Amino acid sequence: MAARQRLILSILAVLAVFIVGTAGYMVIEVDQHPTFLDAAFMTTITLSTVGYGEAWELSPAGRLWSIGVITFGIATVSIAFTSLVTLFVGGELRSLRQSRKMRDTINKMSHHVIVCGFGRMGSLATREILQRGLFVAVIEADKRKLRHLREADTPFIIGNATDEDVLLEAGLMRADALVATLPHDADNVYVSLTAHTIHPELPIIARAEQPSAEEKLKRAGATRVVCSQVMGATHIANVLTRPNVVDFVDIANKGVDLEMDEYIVGTRSPLAGTTLRDSPLRQKTGAIVVAIKHADGKTHVNPDPDELLSVGDTLVLVGPAGVSSRLDSL
| Residue 246 banded pLDDT, cuts 50, 70, 90 | confident
Query: CA-based angle 38:40:45, to the nearest 5?
Result: 95
- The confidence band for 171, taking pLDDT boundaries of 50, 70 and 90, is very high
The residue-averaged pLDDT of 121-139 equals 91
The domains located in the chain, with CATH, are: 3-89 (1.10.287.70), 109-232 (3.40.50.720), 255-328 (3.30.70.1450)
Residue 51: Cβ-neighbour burial (10 angstroms; 0-12, 13-18, 19+): exposed
- Quote the pLDDT of residue 317: 84
Give 278 or 7, the one with higher predicted confidence: 278
* Measured CA angle at 109 (ends 135, 197), to 5 deg: 95
Q: What is the mean pLDDT of residues 48-75?
A: 76
202: pLDDT strictly greater than 90: yes
Q: Do you know the residue count of the chain?
A: 330
Of 217, 186, 221, give the one whose Cα is nearest residue 200: 221
Instruction: Indicate the average pLDDT of the chain.
Output: 83
Name which of 56, 48, 70 is nearest 28 in CA terms.
Answer: 56
Residue 158: name the closest of 244, 243, 100, 226 by CA.
100
| CA-angle at 80, arms to 78 and 85, nearest 5° | 95
Query: Cα 137 from chain centroid?
Result: 5
CB count in 10 Å sphere of residue 129: 18
The pLDDT of residue 89 is: 60
Whether the model clears a pTM of 0.95, i.e. scores above it, the answer is no
How many CA atoms within 13 Å lie on the side-chain side of 279?
A: 26
273 Ramachandran zone, left/alpha/beta (phi>0; psi -120 to 50)? left
| DSSP letters spanning 128-175 | HHHHTT--EEEEE--GGGHHHHHHTTS-EEES-TTSHHHHHHTTGGG-
**pLDDT (tens digit, 9 = 90+) per residue, 1-44?**
555 666 677 778 778 888 888 888 788 877 777 788 878 888 77
